[in-house]
């Protein structure tokens, strides 16, 4: 059987994105030949430096190439201007909208052996809520008043909850196979603030429940948490959660906060997923304080690479990467400085590749 070839767009962005995205490419190029899987790559531009160079943070050519030539992409990190900059807006937010990547999927997993291991996935709706960025400021006798639109739609809520259900079932299949070391029942936790925002969050809550009542999700437990209670319980008993689904803003806050549970943003991957396209994206920023030193933790990018493969239907290849990363972290011999070690970026990558 002929090998499957996947064309992957590489968008390093800014700062350490230019150091960790090449690590993701090396991982893909080093996968075992027995997978019958090949890759081709195209280098693309986006980010604050691209904005300074060209006047566009997300060039049209980048979007067109992704749409016409690629099955998936890896996105590094973006630096944010420290002062208001006319014409600049986040390229990753724009990419999510233009490619209709309606879900942001963020697994959070403990490193090494711990007493109460964390192993959850936060599924964040990616296209609406306050992130539609429809704001205005008006003058009043008492001073300026700024307002923002919070948009929640039935369709987006149904789609994101359905994806959360699919992920819960997939995770259960992995647990049933004996590969996973953590055992729990499939559970989706719907997070909202409908006790205050009865129409917007109320619609999200009701629609998510209806989506998870579909026949294919029989056996998936469903519960709810008000978002402020969710934050408290997330830090007090994180091992209790499996899949958390939330509107855009709450999901953004929960997923970044959850990274603290596992020690470093340098470990936490994400995928921006739509119907027919996926972008793997580490959760960390551009980290200008360590840029160019060769000490950036590549594991969030490597896990994001595996997550991209998972959503492209290459679950076996993804499992090989996950297992190698877990072995590296479990041994604890080669860790980057953010994990308390002294290993360089390349050292960590080479150690993971040796475990394939």
146 and 102 together in one domain: no
Structural domain total, the chain: 2
Distance between CA 43 and CA 62 in Å, rounded?
Answer: 9
Task: Write out the two tokens for 95.
Answer: 């990419």
Together in a domain, 97 and 160: no
CATH number at residue 82: 3.40.718.10
Last residue of a domain, one of 214, 242, 261: 261
* pTM, to two decimals: 0.88
Q: Tens of pLDDT along 238-284? A: 989 999 999 999 999 998 888 888 877 888 899 999 988 999 999 89
79 shares its domain with 98: yes
> Is pLDDT above 60 for 56?
yes
- pLDDT value at 1 more than 80: no
Are residues 84 and 182 both part of a single domain? no
- Helices and strands (DSSP H and E) totals, the chain: 11, 12
What is the extent of the structural domain holding 167? Answer: 116-261
Asked if residue 161 and residue 103 are part of one domain, the reply reads no
113-122 average pLDDT score: 84
Digit-coded pLDDT (tens) for 223-249? 999 999 999 999 999 989 999 999 999
Instruction: In whole angstroms, give the CA distance from residue 31 to residue 198.
Output: 49
Same domain (yes/no): 177, 291: no
On whether both 134 and 249 belong to a single domain, the answer is: yes
Bridge partners of residue 121, in order along the sequence = 107, 243
> What mean pLDDT do residues 136-165 have?
96
Distances, alpha carbon 140 to alpha carbons 137, 143, 252, 279, in Å: 10, 5, 32, 43
- Integer Cα distance of 82 and 144 in angstroms: 23
CA 301 – CA 23 distance, rounded (Å):
8
The span from the CA of 159 to the CA of 148, in Å, is: 24
Q: Do 246 and 282 lie in a common domain?
A: no
- Kindly state whether residues 253 and 183 are assigned to the same domain: yes
Which of 239, 261, 283 terminates a domain? The answer is 261
Residue 306's closest CA among 210, 176, 174, 206?
A: 174
Whether 249 and 280 share a structural domain: no
Domain match, 124 and 257 both? yes
State the average pLDDT over residues 215-223: 95
Question: End of a domain among 261, 290, 316?
Answer: 261
Q: Does residue 339 share a domain with residue 273?
A: yes
- For 117, the 3-state DSSP assignment is coil
């Amino acid at each position: 059987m002929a090998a499957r070839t996947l064309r992957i767009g590489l968008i390093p962005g800014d700062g350490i994105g230019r150091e960790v995205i090449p690590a993701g490419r090396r991982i893909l190029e080093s996968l075992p030949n027995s997978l019958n899987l090949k890759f081709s790559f195209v280098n693309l531009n986006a980010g604050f430096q691209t904005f300074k160079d060209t006047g566009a943070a997300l060039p049209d050519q980048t979007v067109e190439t992704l749409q016409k030539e690629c099955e998936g992409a890896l996105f590094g990190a973006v630096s944010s201007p420290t002062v208001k900059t006319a014409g600049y807006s986040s390229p990753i937010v724009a990419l999510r909208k233009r490619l209709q990547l309606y879900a942001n999927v963020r697994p959070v997993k403990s490193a090494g052996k711990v007493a109460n291991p964390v192993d959850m996935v936060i599924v964040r709706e990616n296209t609406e809520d306050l992130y539609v960025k429809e704001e205005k400021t008006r003058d009043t006798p008492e001073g300026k008043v700024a307002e923002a639109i919070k948009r929640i739609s039935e369709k987006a809520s149904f789609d994101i909850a359905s994806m959360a259900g699919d992920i819960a079932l997939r995770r259960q299949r992995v647990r049933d196979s004996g590969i996973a070391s953590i055992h729990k029942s499939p559970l989706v936790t719907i997070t909202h603030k409908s006790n205050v925002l009865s129409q917007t969050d109320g619609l999200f809550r009701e629609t998510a429940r209806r989506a998870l009542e579909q026949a294919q999700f029989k056996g998936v437990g469903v519960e709810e948490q008000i978002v402020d209670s969710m934050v408290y319980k997330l830090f007090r008993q994180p091992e209790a959660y499996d899949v958390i689904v939330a509107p855009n803003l709450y999901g953004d806050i929960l997923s970044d906060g959850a990274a603290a549970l596992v020690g470093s943003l340098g470990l936490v991957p994400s995928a921006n997923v739509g119907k027919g396209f996926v972008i793997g994206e580490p959760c960390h920023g551009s980290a200008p304080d360590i840029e160019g030193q060769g000490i950036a933790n590549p594991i969030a990018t490597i896990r994001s690479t595996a997550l991209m493969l998972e959503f492209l239907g290459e679950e076996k290849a993804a499992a090989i990467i996950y297992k190698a990363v877990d072995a590296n972290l479990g041994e604890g011999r080669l860790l980057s400085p953010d994990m308390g070690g002294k290993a360089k970026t390349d050292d960590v990558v080479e150690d993971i590749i040796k475990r394939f």
